[in-house]
Amino acid sequence: MQKMNLNLCAIALLLFGSLSGVQCRAVDIVDESNDDVDNSIEPEPESPQSKHSRARAFEEDWLKFTKTPPTKIQQAPGAILEIACEMMGSQVPSIQWVVGRVPLSEIDNLAPNTFSEDAPSAIVRVRSVHIVDHMLSGPRTYTCIGRTGSKTIYASTQVYPAHSDQELGGLIVPEKQYPGPQKPRIIYTEKTHLDLMGSSVMLPCKVHANPHAKITWRNNEDKDIVQSHRFKVLPTGDLLISDLKWEDMGNYKCIAHNAVGRDSADTFVYPVLKEQD
């Protein structure tokens, strides 16, 4: 397979699914009179110079949803909910979840609660899952906010409890976490990661579990990763690949397991040949 330069990254994106036609609509976070709001932040009209710059390479910030969370979910009694949000963009998009009603005007001003990896040449598709492991006392809004560079997008989910206030006679149900052990659930990972050869690539694997889950990784040959100067499984559970090479291309699997069960997630790594001047 021929090595790919940066100008052909768009072709590689087609390998991971088209971004066109993806809906970025969700329930308005505050204004309930409008149930069909496009929550993506639209860029300013492009000048001929900026279009020419983008044609040379992916030099501008961009960010698109590849999967939005559902707009409404009904919580079943005793059920643990998983609300998933996926997006793809330049650099490494950061995803944070906000619980509750937030004015639209404050979305851009919210301080990120996640660490954003410094990978200016990367194109990454990330997946984040918010876990609701307690019974809600009333409807609750969960908002997925994605950021990269100057771009921000967001989508919200309204979760309704299993029982209404009328069914409970107006009693307020305390919101306590479900007791007992829980199987691991991988809540933050990358689906795909494209970056220049020679770069250092950090593949995250964040887990929600009780008791604590052990994390292992398998490489692009489906073998357990052995710690070396180029491949390191960090104490956080993330995988660090240093000095990315063409032969590193392929699927990497994060596996989390405890006494209750296990979960796994795959990341496809695509090394990119830097364009020669």
Q: What is the pLDDT of residues 146-201, one digit of tens each?
A: 998 888 999 999 999 876 554 545 555 666 777 788 899 999 999 999 999 999 99
User: Alpha-carbon Rg of the chain, whole angstroms?
Assistant: 21
**How far is it, in rounded angstroms, from Cα 185 to Cα 257?**
9
Say if residues 153 and 229 touch (Cβ distance below 8 Å): no
Q: What is the pLDDT of residues 133-148, one digit of tens each?
A: 888 888 999 999 999 8
- Selection from 163, 188, 159, 140 nearest residue 71 by Cα: 159
User: Which domains does the chain show, CATH number per domain?
Assistant: 24-179 (2.60.40.10), 180-277 (2.60.40.10)
**DSSP secondary structure string, 84-108?**
EEEEEEES--EEEEEES---GGGTT
- Backbone φ and ψ for 104, nearest 5 degrees, come out as -55, -35
pTM of the model: 0.75
Say if residues 58 and 123 touch (Cβ distance below 8 Å): yes
